[in-house]
Amino acid sequence: MNIPQTCFPRVVIIGGGFAGLAVARGLEEQELQVVLIDKHNYHTFQPLLYQVATGGLEPDSIAFPLRKRFNDVENFYFRLAEVTGIDAEKKQISSTIGNLEYDYLVIATGSNTNFFGNTNVQKYAMEMKSVPQSLNIRSLILENFEEALLTSNLEDRKKLMNFVIVGGGPTGVELAGALAEMKKGILPKDYPDLDIRQMKINLIQSSGELLKGMSKKASEKAEDFLIKLGVDVWKNLRVLDYNGDMVTTNGEDHFRASTVIWAAGVKGEKIDGLTNECVIERANRYKVDGYNRVEGYKNVYAIGDVACMQSEKFPHGHPMMAQPAIQQGKLLAKNILAELKGKKQKPFKYNDKGSMATIGRNKAVVDLPKWRFQGVFAWFVWMFVHLFSLIGFRNKAVVFLNWVYNYIRFDRETRLIIRPYKNKNEYSFDTNVE
């Protein structure tokens, strides 16, 4: 990996998401060498991926170059690579660009889509955990509409205009709401020769409520907002299979649809190597102690989505969201520094700042620890918090500008098929074929 050997201990951080970034920031300018490895050269602000997928934002506005974030930090190294294995005995990781020894290893690989072993769904459904995946969804939605125009077979057209979102968590709810707003304000204008009533947006949730982690009021209000926007909400319905044509469920309703977006679960992005059985917990996460130390290993830490820290309050670990990731990252940085200085480490205590979801224009739900509210004000709070959390002034400004524009004009202007998804073989992205 061509990283110099110094007299400082080396901290290797795998993953530049919320967790990895927080720990790297906390270790800046210390007597440490920090190596951050990610398979992308940018940090992705995942909470806004659904807006990239629905043409509301450009991908570049929610991604931030990792090198830039650290380019004035001493003893910091970034490497663009995929880590393929961990050898805890040798204190070494292997990757697509070679091996590297560590003194401290921080696994912050986050999570990936969980298809619960259903290979059919994995093959045919779309996922939305990265920028390229979101762009694929954007392309597919628009390509399906273009195709719907061309068919005179009513059933085929309905299939092309039928959208199934599986999973009623924040991702599914926000995506369904955004699609419903496209249906309302944009697609009828763009496709005047289509009967837009044939477009259906189905949100399927296996349990009896949306936004399961939030309050009952938030869940009900979100459902109410979605229904008013024209989304068909299906509760207590479980998707069994999708063969690229038909979504089959455990109920009486099946769905013939060209687009299925799977937002029904995530699982930790485990790396091969820590073979000890005890380290793998529920949802493919590493079992960690109260200091985010992977149980059974020395100097190997896991933070964020990939870590499962069990406690009385969180028997299955903390929610796989940005806040626990950021807080664990910050604390871990402090704890590593404390250990180096021979001081006492502090155990992790999650400070639940609340959660929120947006359904559409003027429609959001916010649960703060002591205050719950829904509607216009919640929507402004949601926007402010997300804008504030974005990294970089340029990103904040571009997102703000888009939001103001979209709000005033009832528009989402980045509805561009830059890399076709469906016909990717036809218009491949080779240099020459274009």
Catalytic residue positions, numbered: 174
Q: Which of residues 409-428 bind its own copies (CB under 8 A)?
A: 411, 413-419, 421, 424, 426-427
Determine which residue in the list 98, 244, 290, 347 makes contact with its own copies, applying CB under 8 A: 98
Q: What are phi and psi of 414, to 5 degrees?
A: -90, 45
By beta-carbon proximity to its own copies, the closer residue of 349 and 409 is 409
The counts of H helices and E strands in the chain are: 12, 25
Looking at the Cβ atoms of 19 and 63, the one nearer to its own copies is 63
- Of 24, 34, 126, 161, the residue at the interface with its own copies (CB under 8 A) is 126
CB-based burial label for 119 (10 Å; 0-12, 13-18, 19+): exposed
Strand partners, 166: 204, 262
In the complex, minimum distance from the CB of residue 305 to its own copies, in angstroms, rounded to a whole number: 16
Cα 120 to chain center, whole Å? Answer: 22
Tokens representing 62 are 């929610």
Pairing of strands 285-288, 280-281: antiparallel
Helix-strand-coil split of the chain, %, nearest 5: 35, 25, 40
- The CA distance from 229 to 72, in Å, is 47
Q: Which of residues 28-47 bind its own copies (CB under 8 A)?
A: 39-42
Site for its own copies contains 5 (CB under 8 A) = no
The residue (of 23 and 142) whose beta carbon lies closer to its own copies is: 142
**One residue of 5, 152, 351, 425 binding its own copies per CB under 8 A:** 152
| Residue 364 C-alpha from the chain's centroid | 19
Does residue 77 belong to the site contacting its own copies (CB under 8 A)?
A: yes
CA angle 368, 293, 7 (to 5 degrees): 120
Tell me whether residue 80 or residue 337 sits nearer to its own copies (CB atom).
80
Structural element, H or E, at residue 307 = strand 307-309
Question: Least distance from C-beta 8 to its own copies, angstroms?
Answer: 16
- Alpha-carbon distance values, 259 to 101, 141, 205, 255 (Å): 44, 7, 17, 10
Smallest gap from residue 433 Cβ to its own copies (A): 10
Q: Is 59 in the site for its own copies (CB under 8 A)?
A: yes
Stretch of residues binding its own copies (CB under 8 A), selected from 199-207, 219-227, 312-320, 393-401: 393-401
To its own copies, the closest distance from the beta carbon of 2 in angstroms equals 5
- Interface pick for its own copies out of 12, 19, 125, 141 (rule CB under 8 A): 125
Binding range to its own copies, per CB under 8 A, among 54-62, 159-167, 242-250, 325-333? 54-62
> Residues 290, 108, 178, 165: what is their CA dihedral angle, to the nearest 10 degrees?
-80
Question: Residue from 5, 150, 277, 313 that binds its own copies (CB under 8 A)?
Answer: 150
Comparing CB distances to its own copies, the nearer of 115 and 350 is 115
> Between 298 and 424, whose beta carbon lies closer to its own copies?
424
Cα within 13 Å of Cα(8), Cβ side: 17
112 and 96 Cβ atoms separated by less than 8 Å: no
Residue 195 interacts with its own copies (CB under 8 A): yes or no: no
- Residues in region 260-299 near its own copies by CB under 8 A: none
Verify binding: residue 136, its own copies, rule CB under 8 A. yes
